Structure 1
């Protein structure tokens, strides 16, 4: 695909996707959503880990309101169903570990795009804003599902009703993201974390993602059965054999992703 709004770089098993519309704080246009869907889907077939980040001073300011103003009456239901939902499903069900490296403000759908990833690492100067009520909308892009599960109903309700910026430090303290990192250390930190995932036991990562996400809907007995099935698959992998061999030989494991 001819990418015009994002940049895609692949190296050493890591696919880095950068939102590249810094002049509008990487706002999500229809074109960008199409390109992101393509990039995430393609990465799932080739890479071993995926990173989403933003160019410039922001991660993503959310829906491109210039797109919406071009329509007499924006059909947000169609936009969400046909453009956002496939993208969010592709991220949530990506067979690779996904990491959002949030370099600046993540607002509206941009915040929820980041929160759809498996791990979120943010610069301390970054913030997360459920900005929807500021323009008479409700949180979307999965926000009404993700936030209550991550930070509880009380905080999710306050964040959505007041549309207050939530600092990266508070987001980490509340459990919304994995960690907040001082700005000077941010890029080396997320790059090291991403490299760790890209060099790790890919099949085990796939299985643990499936198990953790399923746990919200499964009974205890169903979860035990799922664990057993997935662990059986992992135990038959080349990475398990390498991990055991490396442990016994007292050396770091070199995983192949198989």
Structure 2
């Protein structure tokens, strides 16, 4: 499927997937998830593609899932296939190297997807936030497994439990990103890394990545998270969080008991 808010282009052996909804801080809709999943599937089947680069237009990398979409799911007014799981699964299954250029703030899945990438370059000034519990939800994309493994339980719980923001500089220092750079330099650095990867022996690189990833464990955790996430989307806590967002007020979870 195609979507104007996801631009998929080729630069030599690099497949670029660009968030292109800057007016909405690159918040991700169902159609955008579908377009990205299709692009990853196409890249997997195309021998000419040897690396994948995620990047974005505007000041935000992505604000994460479009909250209007979450609110509609909570209200039970959404029909048709949902593509987010297909996208997340393709990220886990990807055998070709995936590079991310995080030139601005990243929220929710915009952070958890970085843990499925192989190289990440982030703006020093960027803020990374995972507000799942603030929305009455739970982590996704196997991040309840990958984030503590990457940065330790205490730091991971500050992100996933307290929903504290993490600076781009700290993301690099803690091991989520390879380097923190001035925002204007991020995409150039990430693209250079993606191009460098295309020059490596493809099969050797594929086998190396496979040895470094336990896809069975990641998929199992994603399934567990996904079941809980689906249940939480219909919860009273989520309904209050979404209502508060739409009404531009602080949520009141205390009234729920």
TM-score (norm 2): 0.77
Q: Which moved more, 1:10-19 or 1:127-136?
A: 127-136
Alignment of 1:41-190 (within 5 A): 41-46=41-46, 47-71=49-73, 73=75, 83-190=83-190
Q: Which runs of 5+ in 1 are unaligned?
A: 218-258
- Tell me the CA shift for residue 84 of structure 1: 2.7
Aligned partners of 1:28 and 1:110 also within 8 Å: no
Task: Indicate the residue corresponding to 1:4 in structure 2.
Answer: 4
Inter-partner Cα distance in structure 2 for 1:185 and 1:5 = 23
Secondary structure of 2:132's aligned partner? helix
Task: Indicate the residue corresponding to 1:230 in structure 2.
Answer: none
- Tell me the CA shift for residue 188 of structure 1: 2.1
Aligned partners of 1:102 and 1:114 also within 8 Å: no
Inter-partner Cα distance in structure 1 for 2:73 and 2:216 = 39
Task: Indicate the residue corresponding to 1:236 in structure 2.
Answer: none
Inter-partner Cα distance in structure 2 for 1:95 and 1:216 = 14
Deviations 1:86-121 (A, max 9, x none): 212211221210011111111112211222212211
TM-score (norm 1): 0.76
Aligned partners of 2:53 and 2:101 also within 8 Å: yes
Q: CA RMSD in A?
A: 2.4
Inter-partner Cα distance in structure 1 for 2:3 and 2:201 = 30
Task: Indicate the residue corresponding to 1:38 in structure 2.
Answer: 38
Deviations 1:185-235 (A, max 9, x none): 223211211110122211111101110114997xxxxxxxxxxxxxxxxxx
The 3 A distance-change label for structure 1 pair 24 and 184 is closer
Inter-partner Cα distance in structure 2 for 1:20 and 1:99 = 17
Secondary structure of 1:131's aligned partner? coil
- Tell me the CA shift for residue 184 of structure 1: 3.6
Aligned partners of 2:27 and 2:62 also within 8 Å: yes
Inter-partner Cα distance in structure 2 for 1:216 and 1:20 = 32
Larger Rg: 1
Structure 1 outlier segments of 4+, above 4 Å: none
The 3 A distance-change label for structure 1 pair 45 and 156 is same
Secondary structure of 2:146's aligned partner? helix
Aligned partners of 2:92 and 2:215 also within 8 Å: no
Deviations 1:41-63 (A, max 9, x none): 10122211000111111111111
Task: Indicate the residue corresponding to 1:206 in structure 2.
Answer: 206
Aligned length: 215
The 3 A distance-change label for structure 1 pair 96 and 155 is same
Instruction: Considering Cα pairs closer than 8 Å and 6+ residues apart, tell me whether 1 or 2 has the greater RCO.
Output: 2
Secondary structure of 2:83's aligned partner? helix
The 3 A distance-change label for structure 1 pair 74 and 177 is farther
Inter-partner Cα distance in structure 1 for 2:164 and 2:140 = 16
Aligned partners of 1:22 and 1:55 also within 8 Å: yes
Inter-partner Cα distance in structure 2 for 1:63 and 1:167 = 20
